[in-house]
C-alpha cells in the first residue's frame, strides 16, 4: 500500500481565490456571507456566500478561450491551475487523474435562456468534467462523483484508495458547486434556509446558508510534489456509511456517522489521538443534533471542533474539499479557527466547539460530512 500525501490545495470562495487568502480571512473571523436581493434567484432577500463575477472574470482573462467555459468551469480551471502551479505537477502525465466532485454542476444553464449559449449536453456532469480535463490536456478521462453533500469527502477517500492501490500516482480532487435559483428554491421549499447568516450548533440556529465555490486538493504518492510543505500530511483513513433511515432526514441516533468515523480512525491508527474535527455543521436543527450524538458515540466530544459553514456557507459538493483544504492549513499553521456564528450549545450532547482562534499543535484531524440519501463520510489526515 502506497502512502498518500495531501500535497497542495486551493480554495475559491467569497473570501478569496487561494487557500492562503481564505485562511487569512478566516483567522480574522471574517465571513463571506452577505444579504442579497436578486429576484432571479428568490422572490425575497436571502443570505448567501457568492463569488464576485467581476473578480472571477478578471482572474480568468488570460485563459485560452475563457468565454467557452461556464461560470463553474472557470472556477474549476482557476482552482486546478493554482494547485498545478504550486506543486509543479506534470498534469499531462498518464499517472495523473482528475476527480470532479459536484452535486449540480452547470445547473445554472437550465435557468438561462438557450442554456446561456452553451450546448444542452453541458448539463451532463461528465461533459463538464471532460471540458475541464481537456483544457489541461489530461490523458485520462476524469472521474465524476456526485453523492450529495458528502461528495467532496468521498472524492478524497476515493482518490486515496486509487493511489494507495497503485492505480494512479497523482489525483487532483476538485469540488465545485454554484448558488443558483435551483438550489435556493429547493432549500427554501424545505424551509431550511436561515434568514440570517447560519449558526452551526448554536441554540438559536435557524438553518442553512448556501455558498458557492471550488476547492482543489492534489493527492500523490510522489513525495517530491510536496515542495514547500514543512509538514508531511497524509490521508490516513476514510470510510462511508448510510443511515438507512430516511432520504432527507438524518439518523435519529447518529450511530451511522459514528460507524464511518470509527472505521476511518481505525484505518488511520489514531483512535485516541485526534487533535481537531472539521465537522459538517449545516445549522439545520436535525443535522447538528445528529452530529452531536455521533461524536459522543465515538468518544470525541472533548476534541476541538468547528463547522466552517459560518464563513462561506454550505458549498454542497465543494464543501468536503474546501473544508479539507482549510483543515490542512489548520494543521500546517497550527492554528484552530473558530466555529463562526456559534455562541451557546444548542445540540443535545456536549461538543467542544471552538469559540476563538487559538494556536495549538495539530497533528491529526478528522473531517466529516453527511447528506441527503442518508450518507455519511469521514476522512483522517495525519502529519508524519
Could you list the residues that contact other proteins (CB under 8 A)? 103-105, 107, 110-111, 123-127, 129-130, 141, 143-148, 154, 158, 161, 165, 167, 181-182, 185-186, 188-191, 239-249, 256, 259, 263, 371-375
Task: Name which of 273, 116, 287, 121 is nearest 198 in CA terms.
Answer: 287
Q: How far is CA 271 from CA 96, 299, 306, 361, in A?
A: 32, 9, 19, 18
In the complex, what is the shortest distance from the CB of residue 285 to other proteins, in angstroms, rounded to a whole number?
A: 9
Comparing CB distances to other proteins, the nearer of 15 and 258 is: 258
Task: Name which of 134, 143, 132, 84 is nearest 106 in CA terms.
Answer: 132
Comparing CB distances to other proteins, the nearer of 239 and 292 is: 239
Task: Name which of 262, 282, 280, 281 is nearest 272 in CA terms.
Answer: 262
In the complex, what is the shortest distance from the CB of residue 137 to other proteins, in angstroms, rounded to a whole number?
A: 19
In the complex, what is the shortest distance from the CB of residue 17 to other proteins, in angstroms, rounded to a whole number?
A: 27
Comparing CB distances to other proteins, the nearer of 124 and 349 is: 124
Phi-psi region of 89 (alpha: psi -120 to 50; beta: other; left: phi over 0): beta
Task: Specify which residues 199 forms β-bridges with.
Answer: none
In the complex, what is the shortest distance from the CB of residue 161 to other proteins, in angstroms, rounded to a whole number?
A: 6
Comparing CB distances to other proteins, the nearer of 234 and 362 is: 234
Comparing CB distances to other proteins, the nearer of 277 and 375 is: 375
Q: Which residues of 308-345 are buried (b: 16+ CB within 10 A; e: fewer)?
A: bbbbbbbbbbbbbbbbbbbbbbbbbbebbbbbbbbeee
In the complex, what is the shortest distance from the CB of residue 2 to other proteins, in angstroms, rounded to a whole number?
A: 13
> 160 is written with which cell numbers?
486515496
Comparing CB distances to other proteins, the nearer of 31 and 151 is: 151
Q: How far is CA 47 from CA 38, 306, 360, in A?
A: 11, 21, 33
In the complex, what is the shortest distance from the CB of residue 312 to other proteins, in angstroms, rounded to a whole number?
A: 21
Amino acid at each position: 500500500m502506497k502512502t498518500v500525501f495531501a500535497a497542495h490545495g486551493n480554495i475559491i470562495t467569497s473570501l478569496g481565490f487561494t487557500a492562503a487568502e481564505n485562511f487569512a480571512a478566516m483567522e480574522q473571523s471574517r465571513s463571506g456571507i452577505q444579504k442579497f436581493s436578486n429576484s432571479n434567484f428568490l422572490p425575497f432577500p436571502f443570505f448567501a456566500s457568492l463569488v464576485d463575477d467581476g473578480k472571477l472574470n478578471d482572474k480568468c482573462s488570460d485563459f485560452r478561450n475563457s468565454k467557452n467555459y461556464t461560470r463553474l468551469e472557470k472556477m474549476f480551471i482557476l482552482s486546478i491551475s493554482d494547485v498545478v502551479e504550486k506543486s509543479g505537477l506534470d498534469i499531462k502525465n498518464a499517472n495523473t487523474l482528475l476527480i470532479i466532485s459536484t452535486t449540480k454542476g452547470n445547473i445554472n444553464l437550465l435557468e438561462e435562456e438557450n442554456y446561456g449559449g452553451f450546448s444542452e449536453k453541458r448539463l451532463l456532469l461528465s461533459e463538464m468534467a471532460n471540458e475541464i480535463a481537456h483544457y489541461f490536456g489530461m490523458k485520462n478521462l476524469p472521474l465524476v462523483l456526485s453523492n450529495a453533500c458528502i461528495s467532496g469527502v468521498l472524492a478524497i477517500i476515493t482518490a486515496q484508495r486509487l493511489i494507495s492501490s497503485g492505480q494512479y500516482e497523482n489525483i487532483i480532487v476538485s469540488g465545485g458547486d454554484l448558488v443558483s435559483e435551483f438550489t435556493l428554491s429547493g432549500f427554501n421549499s424545505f424551509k431550511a434556509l436561515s434568514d440570517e447568516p447560519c449558526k452551526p450548533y448554536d441554540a438559536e440556529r435557524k438553518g442553512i446558508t448556501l455558498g458557492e465555490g471550488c476547492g482543489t486538493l492534489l493527492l500523490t504518492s510522489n513525495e517530491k510534489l510536496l515542495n514547500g510543505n514543512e509538514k508531511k500530511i497524509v490521508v490516513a483513513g476514510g470510510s462511508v456509511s448510510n443511515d438507512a433511515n430516511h432520504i432527507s432526514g438524518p439518523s435519529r441516533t447518529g450511530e451511522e456517522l459514528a460507524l464511518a468515523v470509527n472505521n476511518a480512525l481505525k484505518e488511520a491508527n489514531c483512535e485516541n489521538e485526534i487533535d481537531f474535527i472539521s465537522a459538517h455543521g449545516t445549522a439545520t436543527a436535525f443535522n447538528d443534533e445528529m452530529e452531536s450524538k455521533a461524536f459522543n458515540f465515538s468518544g470525541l466530544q472533548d476534541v476541538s471542533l468547528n463547522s466552517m459553514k459560518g464563513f462561506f456557507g454550505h458549498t454542497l459538493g465543494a464543501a468536503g474539499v474546501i473544508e479539507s483544504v482549510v483543515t490542512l492549513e489548520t494543521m500546517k499553521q497550527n492554528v484552530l479557527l473558530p466555529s463562526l456564528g456559534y455562541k451557546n450549545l444548542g445540540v443535545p450532547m456536549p461538543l467542544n466547539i471552538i469559540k476563538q482562534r487559538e494556536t495549538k499543535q495539530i497533528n491529526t484531524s478528522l473531517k466529516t460530512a453527511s447528506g441527503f440519501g442518508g450518507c455519511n463520510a469521514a476522512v483522517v489526515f495525519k502529519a508524519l
